[in-house]
Chains A and B, each alone.
Chain A
Amino acid sequence: MATTNLKKLSDMPELLSGGHAACPGCAGPVAIRQILLAAQQDDVYVVAGIATGCMEVSTTVYPNSAWRVPLVHNAFENVAATISGAEAAYRSLKKQGKYDKKVAFLAIGGDGGTYDIGLQSLSGALERGHDFTYICYDNEAYMNTGIQRSGATPKGAFTTTAPAGKVEPGKRQVKKDLTAIVAAHEVPYAAQASPHRPRDLMKKVQKAVGIQGPCFLNVLSPCPRGWRYPPDQSMQMCKLATDTCVWALYEIEDGKLTVNYKPKQKQPVRDWLKSQGRFRHLFAPQNEYLIEEIQQDVDRRWQRLLALEAMDKGQ
């Protein structure tokens, strides 16, 4: 049965093998390994789809594949639609008595493939109510094509299409709140998670897989190359993101929001910004006002989450 016991899980065979071509220290494969281990159970088989992006390109270089579950890659913006079709095929074949296994469908996409170009395909699949779990691994830029800005890139970050220059301070716009957009589809389950808290992440995967209907998980996925920090620091980045409340761990189940992690002492966002090269320019005198703005943005979003949680609890 489903377990999140780390000891037991560590004895189970990996479903994403080593030997793939992701950069050393990339958080993406760490998250995907946890997700696959959690989703595959004795009587439930995982069938996954993946959008074009770093995780696809680095794990499926023909004739090799790191995937030990069936995987389909179609294109960049359509993993939700592709999995819709596979799930419809599954329902059809089951109904006709031509297939008898139980399958959990996962659609996996990067932030570019989900927040931006794949948003329509995701929205359509959520609205139609397919029984699948969508997982966005959010590394906050188009990494595969060379660190371009996406709708998930946070304010102030340096990217190759919104670089910091003499007159521009990096990206000027705030990060899109995708999880809220997904929740607005009134799906049965939507959550944010992070691989530095595997129990929390895996529990969420198991919940999502167990729930009938479209579920969604937004998983923070630090990228040493694009964020510019040493490759052995990815899990520290995750921890810092949750301790500064830049990335909140929460879930919305049947419309009720619960915050899963509240730091005892909320760290200043400055600590987060200092840890990564992509924010270095913010500490130049002409840009420092942005640090204050970013802190205010983070505080506002965090307060809103807490308020929503309180409201849903009827407090």
Chain B
Amino acid sequence: MSERMALTGNDSAAYALKQINPDVVAAYPITPQTELMHKFAAYVADGDVKTEFVTVESEHSAMSAVVGASLAGARTCTATSANGLALMWEILYIAASCRCPIVMPVINRALSGPINIHCDHSDTMGARDAGWIQLYSENCQEAYDNTIQAVRIAEHPDVRLPVMVCLDGFILSHTLESLETSDDQTVQNFIGEFERPDNLLNVDHAETFGAFALQNYYFEFKKQQADAMVNAVAVVQGIGSEYGTLTGRPYDLLEPYRCDDADVVLVGLGSTMGTAKQAADDLREEEGLKCGVLKVRCFRPFPGEQLCQALKDVPMVGVMDRAISFGLGGPLFHEVRSARYDAAGPMMNFIYGLGGRDLSLDDAGEVFRTLARAGESGRAEPTVSYVGVRE
């Protein structure tokens, strides 16, 4: 049974967490994630969940506590943004290497400095090599759906890795949307029971977790992690289609939009893909420009093969980055370009929206036009440009 509800992005993730009903949740406040945990705390206070709610004294301890809880055999979640994620940094890597299937909504916010509370992707992009799966959400519906699927993906025996469910700060976290939710039992049936037989509380079989592994073993730990990430590709796809059968909303690694006959395609992630789709529609209608959009839902593992396939007949590709890898350009651009190396066509990189700066429909339209001009002239220059910034 499904129900339509009006929820913000924070509410939708909190509602998903309520239905997941984790054994342990650790929480520490940071804007714009705060309302998510307020909501969840209210579920705890009303006895709607069985969760032990650990109100830690820092995000470093939040991540440390969920690692401890996960290794003790509990299903665990936490949530954060920007500086909070940065404070967790050290333990993000440990969570992944201890193969803790933690689910963490990250409400994307610009990293300091200057301090800023609004959306960009510098926080999660910086954590892209921490060994976490990353799913990005275009809207509140996807934030809800991704959070539920994340549990299955994380706990899948071929994967056993933590998952970040990324959703844009304020743009989604604080915007009310009408979305479809499943009932609690449907969610519970979908996610199933969590089992980790090798755990800290298994006192009859004492094991050491987080051991000191040197030159002769460390590499094998990492190779297993890398293999699990490779396995995650098929698992994300399989669970996305199973979820589709259940809810009528199937998910994949990528979502192509009007790409088939497109002359120019914009690749990106997060809420801006909604704007890009609208701009593509408008430009097709008003200017006859054949625009398409390729949304990257799953950024880690990076779906390079699928991406090349989706872009193989596209003459001109642009990549939208809401983060900078200083001295290089946008991180998504460089990954898309390197994935397409063998089938290389010209590509351009657009950095936009840092610190929550709005990307208007006009801005998105202008990006499409820039791509079209580059396609015509055969000169895709400059490779990296900045949208909506004062020089």
Within 8 A of A (CB), among B66-97: 66-74, 76, 90-91, 94
A124 touching B58 by the CB < 8 A rule?
yes
Find chain B residues with CB under 8 A from A67 CB: 206, 208
Residue of A nearest to B213 (CB): A62
Within 8 A of B (CB), among A69-91: 69-75, 77-78, 80-91
Find chain A residues with CB under 8 A from B214 CB: 61-62
Q: How far is the CA of A90 from the CA of B202 in the complex (A)?
A: 11
**Could you count the A-B residue pairs with CB atoms below 8 Å apart for me: how many are there?**
168
Q: How far is the CA of A65 from the CA of B64 in the complex (A)?
A: 22
Residue of A nearest to B207 (CB): A70
The answer to whether B210 has its CB under 8 Å from any CB of chain A is yes
Report B367 CB to chain A, min CB distance, Å: 43
Report A5 CB to chain B, min CB distance, Å: 24
Given contacts A74-B94, A92-B23, A120-B58, contact A83 B206 (CB under 8 A): no
Find chain A residues with CB under 8 A from B73 CB: 89, 93
A62 touching B60 by the CB < 8 A rule?
no
Q: How far is the CA of A68 from the CA of B205 in the complex (A)?
A: 9
Q: How far is the CA of A91 from the CA of B68 in the complex (A)?
A: 13
The answer to whether A121 has its CB under 8 Å from any CB of chain B is yes
Find chain A residues with CB under 8 A from B67 CB: 74, 82, 85
The answer to whether A96 has its CB under 8 Å from any CB of chain B is yes
The answer to whether B200 has its CB under 8 Å from any CB of chain A is yes
Question: Which segment of B46-54, B300-308, B338-346 sits at the interface?
Answer: B46-54
B69 touching A70 by the CB < 8 A rule?
no
The answer to whether B65 has its CB under 8 Å from any CB of chain A is yes
* Of the residues B54, B57, B72, B202, contact of A121 by C-beta under 8 Å: B57
Given contacts A85-B76, A92-B50, contact A74 B64 (CB under 8 A): yes
The answer to whether B26 has its CB under 8 Å from any CB of chain A is yes
The answer to whether B289 has its CB under 8 Å from any CB of chain A is no
Find chain A residues with CB under 8 A from B209 CB: 70-73
A73 touching B211 by the CB < 8 A rule?
yes
Find chain A residues with CB under 8 A from B51 CB: 92
Within 8 A of A (CB), among B317-367: none
Within 8 A of B (CB), among A42-78: 45, 47, 49, 56-57, 60-63, 65, 67-75, 77-78
B69 touching A85 by the CB < 8 A rule?
yes
Report A64 CB to chain B, min CB distance, Å: 8
Find chain A residues with CB under 8 A from B58 CB: 120-121, 124
Report B201 CB to chain A, min CB distance, Å: 6
The answer to whether B56 has its CB under 8 Å from any CB of chain A is yes
B86-127 interface bits toward A, Cβ cutoff 8 Å, 1 = contact, 0 = none:
000011001000100000000000000000000000000000
Which of B65, B73, B94, B203 has the most chain A CB within a 10 Å cutoff?
Answer: B65
Given contacts A70-B200, A70-B203, A72-B68, contact A124 B56 (CB under 8 A): yes
B1-42 interface bits toward A, Cβ cutoff 8 Å, 1 = contact, 0 = none:
000000000000000000000011010000000000000000
A85 touching B68 by the CB < 8 A rule?
yes
Residue of A nearest to B208 (CB): A65
Report A122 CB to chain B, min CB distance, Å: 10
The answer to whether B55 has its CB under 8 Å from any CB of chain A is yes
Find chain A residues with CB under 8 A from B91 CB: 74-75, 78
* Of the residues A73, A77, A84, A120, contact of B65 by C-beta under 8 Å: A84
The answer to whether A271 has its CB under 8 Å from any CB of chain B is no
B24 touching A63 by the CB < 8 A rule?
no
Find chain A residues with CB under 8 A from B202 CB: 70
Find chain B residues with CB under 8 A from A63 CB: 211, 217
Find chain B residues with CB under 8 A from A78 CB: 60-61, 64, 91
A99 touching B201 by the CB < 8 A rule?
yes
Given contacts A56-B212, A65-B211, A85-B24, contact A75 B203 (CB under 8 A): no
Report A32 CB to chain B, min CB distance, Å: 14
Which of A67, A77, A90, A123 has the most chain B CB within a 10 Å cutoff?
Answer: A90
Find chain B residues with CB under 8 A from A93 CB: 23, 72-74, 201
B201 touching A75 by the CB < 8 A rule?
no
The answer to whether A249 has its CB under 8 Å from any CB of chain B is no
Q: How far is the CA of A15 from the CA of B202 in the complex (A)?
A: 16
Given contacts A91-B52, A92-B23, A124-B61, contact A57 B200 (CB under 8 A): no
Q: How far is the CA of A261 from the CA of B66 in the complex (A)?
A: 41
Residue of A nearest to B210 (CB): A73
Report B261 CB to chain A, min CB distance, Å: 52
Find chain A residues with CB under 8 A from B62 CB: 81
The answer to whether A127 has its CB under 8 Å from any CB of chain B is yes
A86-127 interface bits toward B, Cβ cutoff 8 Å, 1 = contact, 0 = none:
111111110110010101000000000000000011011101
B56 touching A89 by the CB < 8 A rule?
no
The answer to whether A128 has its CB under 8 Å from any CB of chain B is yes
Report B238 CB to chain A, min CB distance, Å: 28
Report B51 CB to chain A, min CB distance, Å: 7
Q: How far is the CA of A82 from the CA of B200 in the complex (A)?
A: 12
B72 touching A86 by the CB < 8 A rule?
yes
Find chain A residues with CB under 8 A from B24 CB: 85, 88-89, 92
Q: How far is the CA of A308 from the CA of B217 in the complex (A)?
A: 52
Residue of B nearest to A71 (CB): B208
Q: How far is the CA of A95 from the CA of B61 in the complex (A)?
A: 23
Find chain A residues with CB under 8 A from B23 CB: 89, 92-93, 96
Report A106 CB to chain B, min CB distance, Å: 12
B208 touching A85 by the CB < 8 A rule?
no
Report B130 CB to chain A, min CB distance, Å: 14
A92 touching B74 by the CB < 8 A rule?
yes
Find chain B residues with CB under 8 A from A75 CB: 64, 90-91, 94
* Of the residues B64, B72, B208, contact of A89 by C-beta under 8 Å: B72
A-B contact pairs, 8 of them (CB 8 A): A47-B203, A60-B210, A70-B209, A78-B61, A85-B66, A88-B24, A89-B24, A121-B60
For the complex of A and B, list the 6 residue pairs with the smallest distance between their C-beta atoms, beginning with the closest. Answer: A85-B68, A124-B57, A85-B65, A89-B74, A81-B61, A89-B72
